[in-house]
Amino acid sequence: MAEIDNNNNININNIDKNNIDNAVDNIKEEIKIEVKNLNFYYGDYHLLKDINLFFKKNSVCTILGPSGCGKSSFLRTLNRMNDYTEGSKLKGEVLLDGKNIYGKSIDVVELRRNVGMVFQNPNPFPKTIFENIAFGLKIHGIKNKQFIAERVEKCLKYAGLLDEVKDKLHKNAFSLSGGQQQRLCIARAIATNPSVLLMDEPTAYLDPASTATILDLIANFKKFYTIIIVSHNIQQAGRISDYSGFFLNGELIEFSKSGDFFTRPKDKRTENFITNRF
């Protein structure tokens, strides 16, 4: 709990003892995802070591770290994309809205509908722009054509792509530029109305202008979604995130408010990373 106190700016000492239960409830309500004692193995290799952290509702969190530190694997444990990796094993809990997503009663399909994901490479399907977004609705059994058309338009609008593609909705998605494709992927990810968005280095392969557009999008999306971004770009993380975490060799070195993280890192290794010594 100590961590939560530090990061939430809620000083337990100032709260009346009678109200303490309420306060704890409030904090609980605000937590979207809580990761408890998460260990992840790939074959014999212990990739993630005893990760403990939480993500607050409607916040942007950035996971930083050098290549190969396990940050992408960590992100993929949050929507169980690692299930398909042969030889992987997981211990510990990931609580989404208080429910363990590795529990027995969890429907993985519903989980992934609720936790959207955007990948490093823009990966639209080889279909039309319209169908790329409609796919997410169709796989969940929605057949109402009017609803689909409205939702597609809305998602494109949220992703800031509508004006650019209005006239070519029925053209192949590959006719778009890289930055547009990535925004299409974001539109596709929000089509299923998720509450969490996972982004795996969403701007790694984009030019500066497209990167700026997507960062603006992320800042706007905070109102609707809890956003978790994996990145190795320190400047970006500082600009857009509320919370930042630092992974090194599969361990979570530090996780705190971005202000503290970038100006007063507690750990020497975090400081080294921020000042580009890795």
- Tokens at 238, concatenated: 């500082």
Stretch that binds another protein, among 7-15, 61-69, 187-195, 265-273 (CB under 8 A): 187-195
**Contact with another protein (CB under 8 A) among 59, 192, 213, 258:** 192
Shortest distance (Å) from residue 123 CB to another protein: 4
Our finding on whether 84 is near another protein (CB under 8 A) is: yes
For residue 228, give both structure tokens: 């978790």
Among 59, 77, 79, 182, binds another protein (CB under 8 A): 79
Q: Taking CB under 8 A as the rule, does residue 116 contact another protein?
A: yes
Contact between residue 101 and residue 94 where contact means Cβ atoms under 8 Å apart: yes
CB atoms within 10 A of CB 278: 13
Task: Specify whether the CB–CB gap between 201 and 177 falls below 8 A.
Answer: no
Q: Which stretch binds another protein (CB under 8 A): 28-36, 88-96, 186-194, 219-227?
A: 186-194
Q: Does 119 bind another protein (CB under 8 A)?
A: yes
110 binds another protein (CB under 8 A): yes
From 41, 42, 102, 125, residue interacting with another protein (rule: CB under 8 A) = 125
Query: Of 128, 195, 233, 249, which one interacts with another protein (CB under 8 A)?
Result: 128
For 272-277, the CB contacts below 8 A with 24+ separation are 273/64, 273/65, 273/66, 273/234, 273/246, 273/248, 274/234, 276/234
| Rounded least distance, CB 213 to another protein, Å | 20
* Token reading at 200: 């795996």
Gap between the Cα atoms of 212 and 222, Å rounded: 16
> Can you list the pairs that 254-259 forms with residues at least 24 positions away whose Cβ atoms lie under 8 Å?
255/3, 255/7, 255/53, 256/6, 256/7, 257/7, 258/62
Our CB check for another protein shows the closer of 173 and 253 to be: 173
Q: What is the DSSP letter of 59?
A: -
Nearer to another protein, 11 or 123 (CB): 123
Binding of another protein by 56 (CB under 8 A): no
Residue at token pair 């409030």: 26
Piece in contact with another protein (CB under 8 A), picked from 79-87, 152-160, 232-240, 258-266: 79-87
Question: For another protein, which is the closer residue by CB, 15 or 108?
Answer: 108
| x/- letters, 165..184, toward another protein (CB under 8 A) | -----x-x------------
User: Using the rule CB under 8 A, is 135 a contact of another protein?
Assistant: yes
Give the CA angle between residues 10, 236, 256 to the nearest 5°: 25
Give CA separation, 171 vs 127, 129, 187, 195, in Å.
8, 6, 16, 29
Binding footprint of another protein on the chain (CB under 8 A) = 79, 81, 84, 86, 109-113, 116-117, 119, 121, 123-128, 131, 135-136, 138-140, 170, 172, 185, 188-189, 191-192
